[in-house]
């Protein structure tokens, strides 16, 4: 991915299905932003499809390709989680969790058959979703004296960060965010205004 602060993911959850020799593969794809939401989503599907043989999944977070996991959930090693992850990557997606639930149809598919099935089930869910481009944004708070309000607002008007919260009392504060590639430029301008204090909040 050329821009480290830009990535592709699904706009909203989507579903897919694939059938082969009586086995049914039901797929759910979820756009995610943190690792903490993964287990509850997988557990929810395990509860919903409690009678299924396998609940395999893969996920990837971030733009560097270093945060990921693939889980075969009892299928032969490398036949489920890996092909699911492979489709996330071949579609250049991230911040995505894909879970494939398998109902065994009585006929073994073999290693190549399983890999094909999990791949196709994942492709169907991705194709049924809407791929969107998003940016990695840093969130900050600036605190400043009321007397420099005009200087601060001029920078905001010219740089156009996303304002998420503002409080104008004797000591003013504004919470804002922008894509990572533009953060340093805006911070540099704010830092040149007297009394402005810049505080990093989080990245999303």
Q: What is the DSSP string of 96-109?
A: EEEEEEEE--SS--
Specify whether 130 is located in the same domain as 178: no
Ramachandran class of 78: left when φ > 0, alpha when ψ lies in -120 to 50, beta otherwise: left
Quote the pLDDT of residue 124. 98
CATH number at residue 104: 3.30.230.30
**In total, how many domains does the chain have?**
2
Backbone φ and ψ for 178, nearest 5 degrees, come out as -160, 165
Quote the pLDDT of residue 65. 86
User: Is there a domain that residue 64 lies in?
Assistant: yes
**If you average pLDDT over residues 9-33, what whole number do you get?**
97
Reply yes or no on whether the pLDDT at 1 is more than 60: no
Specify whether 103 is located in the same domain as 188: no
Residue-wise pLDDT for 49-70, tens only, equals: 999 999 999 999 998 889 999 9
3-state secondary structure (DSSP) of residue 11:
coil
Specify whether 117 is located in the same domain as 141: no
Residue-wise pLDDT for 79-134, tens only, equals: 999 999 999 999 999 999 999 999 999 889 999 999 999 999 999 999 999 999 99
Specify whether 122 is located in the same domain as 153: no
Residue-wise pLDDT for 134-190, tens only, equals: 999 999 999 999 999 999 999 999 999 999 999 998 789 999 999 999 999 999 999
Specify whether 161 is located in the same domain as 105: no
Specify whether 107 is located in the same domain as 150: no
User: Is there a domain that residue 1 lies in?
Assistant: no
Tokens representing 34?
Answer: 């943190």
In 3D, which of 23, 11, 91 has the Cα closest to residue 56? 23
Range of the domain at 154: 136-203
Quote the pLDDT of residue 63. 87
Q: What are 162's strand-pairing partners?
A: 177
Specify whether 64 is located in the same domain as 79: yes
């Amino acid at each position: 991915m050329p821009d480290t602060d830009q990535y592709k993911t699904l706009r909203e959850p989507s579903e897919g299905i694939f059938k082969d020799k009586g086995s049914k593969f039901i797929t759910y794809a979820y756009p995610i932003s943190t690792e903490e939401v993964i287990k509850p989503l997988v557990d929810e599907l395990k509860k919903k499809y409690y009678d299924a043989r396998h609940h395999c999944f893969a996920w990837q977070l971030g733009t560097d390709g270093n945060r990921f996991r693939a889980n075969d959930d009892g299928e032969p090693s490398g036949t489920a989680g890996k092909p699911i992850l492979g489709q996330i990557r071949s579609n250049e997606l991230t911040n995505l969790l894909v879970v494939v639930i398998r109902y065994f149809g009585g006929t073994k598919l073999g290693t190549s058959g399983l890999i094909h099935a999990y791949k196709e089930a994942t492709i169907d869910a991705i194709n049924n979703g809407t791929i969107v481009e998003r940016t990695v944004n840093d969130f900050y708070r600036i605190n400043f004296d009321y007397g420099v309000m005009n200087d601060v607002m001029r920078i905001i008007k010219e740089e156009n960060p996303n304002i998420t919260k503002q409080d104008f009392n004797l000591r003013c504060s504004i919470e804002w965010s922008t894509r990572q590639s533009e953060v340093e430029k805006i911070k540099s301008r704010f830092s040149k205004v007297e009394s402005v204090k810049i505080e990093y909040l989080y990245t999303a």
